[in-house]
Amino acid sequence: MNTAVKLQSWEGQVIDGRFPLLQWVGGSPHGDVFLTELPGQESRKAAIKLVSTGAGNATALSRWEAIAELSHPHLIRLFEMGRCQINAAPLFYIVMEFAEEDLSQVLPSRPLTPAETEDMLGTVVEVLSFVHAKGFVHGHIQPSNIMAVGDQLKISSDCLQLSGKASDRMTEPSAYDAPETVTGPMSPAADIWSLGMILVAALSQHPPAWDRSGQKDPVVPDSIPGPFREIARECLRPDPNQRCTLGQVGSRLRLAPAPETAGLRRARPRTRVLIAAQILLIALLAGLWLVTHQGSVRPRQETADKEKPVSSSAPQPSPPAANVPTGVIQGAVSERVLPNVPRNARDTIQGKVKVTVRVVVDANGDVSTATLENPGPSKYFAGLAITAARHWKFKPARADSKPVSSKWTLRFRFGRAATEVVPVETSP
């Protein structure tokens, strides 16, 4: 249907008596997407997709219902789905999270940096690993389906298909579509091909040149930095049996430079030397100060060599700070709040996800500010940590018998089995 006609006749209509079509935001042969709102006391923006009930989409509703059972922090959430009519035309509809931006809107103006590419690629690998383990393939990994929801990177979910089924493509295949999907069923290897194309496009603003009529590998430019160049070449094999696996991509990624997170870069070797020298100088000056001020400092209290993890079921005393001046009584943790991590999010963790939050505690024992000192590799888990940190309660430190503010560092360690937190008072 002509887009101009839809803008005039469809906007303003209400789907299923609950979802107003506020603004048309995009369309494809697979359907048209409008901005809508979720009903409730506090209306939230959402996206609603409308597709025809024709033969090509006959199983869309049952497929969406199966996809809605999946839950992953980097997969677009599906809220509602059903049947409707607009101007006597029968349609399926699906309501999902609204994304403010997608990668296809970024690449025309600039390529991603290697750090941004690693962050994006790691998220896509994580999501595809989850999806494949559930018996699905994505089938449509391309820039428009890599989205930003708030400060989180998310992957579209409404187009997921059961592995082994024929593709539901309604247009000519693009560079992002694996060669075998034209005539054969969808498989996890097809997503690997799309991943290689996305990787090159992210760093060069367009996918690599490739002649679909031949059997030669796509040409990955030498300008693509390693290890991304090698990953792309191993993904873009015309024979699906020769492509690398998601696990191999993850292994290669560990060789890449650390992503720039929260404005911080991994220290270069010279920088690390300078930092070490500065730390040594500070330590020497601190030692000199202690020697000349022993009369005003209490003897250092013996502490354990290792910090003990804190759990909600077994609260432990907070580690004491060393060298506390006379007249100052340290604060203590009175109430710990652990992040609520969904089971499906824990299942994505490999090893430990470490996040460090610095909090300022006021004289009442409440957290006045919380900032990320080390956000770790995942914005999702960093968000959980800082949200929990804001709800901690403390017994305030005291100076000359009066409560005073203090500073603490909360070291979160997320694992598949549990979340641990080590609190350390860094002042007064």
Instruction: Record the pTM.
Output: 0.59
Instruction: Say yes or no to pLDDT of 221 above 70.
Output: yes
Considering the chain, what percentage of its residues have pLDDT values greater than 90? 45
The CATH-assigned architecture of domain 327-427 is: 2-Layer Sandwich (3.30)
Instruction: Say yes or no to pLDDT of 407 above 50.
Output: yes
Give the model confidence (pLDDT) of 16-36 as tens digits: 999 999 988 887 767 889 999
- Of residues 5 and 333, more confidence is placed in 333
Does the structural domain 101-253 have CATH classification 3.60.21.10? no
**So what's the pLDDT on residue 3?**
55
Whether residue 107 contacts residue 143, with contact meaning beta carbons closer than 8 Å, is answered with yes
Give the model confidence (pLDDT) of 132-156 as tens digits: 999 999 988 999 999 998 878 999 9
- Band (pLDDT 50/70/90 cuts) for residue 41 is low
- Of residues 72 and 428, more confidence is placed in 72
- Band (pLDDT 50/70/90 cuts) for residue 168 is low
The beta strand positions in 261-405, using DSSP E, are: 328-329, 332-335, 353-361, 367-374, 393-395, 397-399, 402-404
Mean pLDDT of 269-285: 40
**So what's the pLDDT on residue 46?**
94
The one-letter code for the residue type at 407 is K
Whether residue 47 contacts residue 140, with contact meaning beta carbons closer than 8 Å, is answered with no
- Could you write out the DSSP letters of every residue in 136-159? EE----SGGGEEEETTEEEE--TT
- Judged by DSSP in three states, 335 sits in strand
Instruction: Say yes or no to pLDDT of 199 above 50.
Output: yes
- Establish whether domains 3-96 and 327-427 are of one fold: no
**So what's the pLDDT on residue 364?**
92
- Band (pLDDT 50/70/90 cuts) for residue 7 is low
Give the model confidence (pLDDT) of 109-135 as tens digits: 899 999 899 989 999 999 999 999 999
Instruction: Say yes or no to pLDDT of 269 above 50.
Output: no
Closest C-alpha among 67, 61, 66, 62 to residue 84: 61
Considering the chain, what percentage of its residues have pLDDT values greater than 70? 78
Give the model confidence (pLDDT) of 371-389 as tens digits: 998 888 787 888 899 989 9
Instruction: Say yes or no to pLDDT of 57 above 50.
Output: yes
The CATH superfamily holding the domain 3-96 is Phosphorylase Kinase; domain 1 (3.30.200.20)
- Of residues 114 and 172, more confidence is placed in 114
- CA 187 to chain CA centroid, Å, is 25
Whether residue 103 contacts residue 89, with contact meaning beta carbons closer than 8 Å, is answered with no
Q: Where are the chain's structural domains?
A: 3-96, 101-253, 327-427
Give the model confidence (pLDDT) of 333-345 as tens digits: 999 999 988 877 7
